[in-house]
Amino acid sequence: MKQLAIVERSLLIGHIVSMVFGLAGLLIVVPNAELIANLPEIGQTVFQWSMAGGGVAYMLLGTAAVAVYAFRILGTRHALTFMLPAIFLSLSSELLGTSTGFPFGHYRYLSGLGYKVAGLVPFTIPLSWFYLGICAYLLARVGLESRLQGATWLRLPVAIALGSLLLTSWDFVLDPAMSQTTVPFWIWEQPGAFFGMPYQNFAGWLATGIVFMTVATFLWPKQPLALSRQQLAFPLVVYLSNLAFSTVMSLGSGFVVPVLLGMVTGVGPAIILYFIAPATPNLPVEPVNDPLPLTVSEPVAAVSAK
């Protein structure tokens, strides 16, 4: 398991570095054409590669890092029963949205995010729903479990709603910049009142998150996830680093209000949920019944299989 932890951290570092590299390209190099012209040949080659595949790289690295974390901490069953609904339900929602305008509004993806499924949705988009979605859900669920122990009827619906809000908060900050930057990744064919986005977009994000988080909740056992605060640090870092990427993008494009909204509805609650999570697991650690070998060298979520 130590080898998996090393791979997980390496992928996370690559994910964060690729975001920093992307920010430098989009906010410094692209707006200054003379910088590109003055680059040496190898620099121009790297820049062209980064513009063509940088967005794909950071999403793939994020997906891989979170997937390794989920399999290592939660086990195969729990990782897959979140990953598959998140990817396929969000892809269905995105395909419906780009085809009909429901549930997000009328928009379309441009180049820069990889091969498009059905010519409409880059394959990286549902991956991003997964890796940010499970981080948001774990922060919400584990944090609430420390305050709503025993109240399954309350804590699970609230965790789904709060997890979906944390996920949507990422879009509050990301969407204005990514659709209106110097090199946009998608465009709104019918711009809305919220810095170019329709309010319908947020309803679509909330609904999509609620749907796949609800499916995962039904597929997971209802007992609390005995994750410690230390084990919750990884989802927090992934969540905050992606919000930071979006924040720099938005501020670079002059969008202050979306950033403030994301701080209030996303960053603040995520940090609070992290700190109210138990310092040590509330339940005895029990091996998850899956094929991954478990050892005492790494903490494992105590999710009792039925």
Average pLDDT score over residue span 154-181: 93
- Give the whole-angstrom CA distance, residue 8 versus residue 66: 7
Give the Å distances, CA to CA, from 237 to 3, 83, 139, 243, 280. 20, 19, 11, 10, 19
pLDDT of 294 reads: 34
pLDDT tens-digit map of 43-71: 656 656 665 566 899 999 999 999 999 99
Other Cβ atoms less than 10 A from the Cβ of 283: the count is 16
242 has pLDDT over 60: yes
Choice between 37 and 13, residue whose per-residue pLDDT is larger: 13
pLDDT of 21 reads: 83
- Give the whole-angstrom CA distance, residue 13 versus residue 8: 9
194 has pLDDT over 80: yes
221 has pLDDT over 70: yes
Report the DSSP beta bridge partners of residue 197.
Answer: 194
Report the DSSP beta bridge partners of residue 117.
Answer: 121
For the ranges 20-24, 43-47, 122-126, 275-279, the lowest mean pLDDT is seen at 43-47
Cβ-contact 173, 180 below 8 angstroms = no
pLDDT of 49 reads: 60
- Give the whole-angstrom CA distance, residue 232 versus residue 251: 28
Average pLDDT score over residue span 140-159: 83
pLDDT of 225 reads: 87
Cβ-contact 253, 176 below 8 angstroms = yes
263 has pLDDT over 50: yes
pLDDT of 89 reads: 98
pLDDT of 286 reads: 40
Average pLDDT score over residue span 105-126: 94
Chain centroid, CA 123 distance in Å: 15
pLDDT tens-digit map of 77-94: 999 999 999 999 999 999
Give the Å distances, CA to CA, from 167 to 35, 64, 161. 36, 18, 10
pLDDT of 36 reads: 65
- Domain residue extents for the chain: 2-276
Helix or strand run (H / E) with residue 157: helix 152-180
| pTM summary value | 0.87
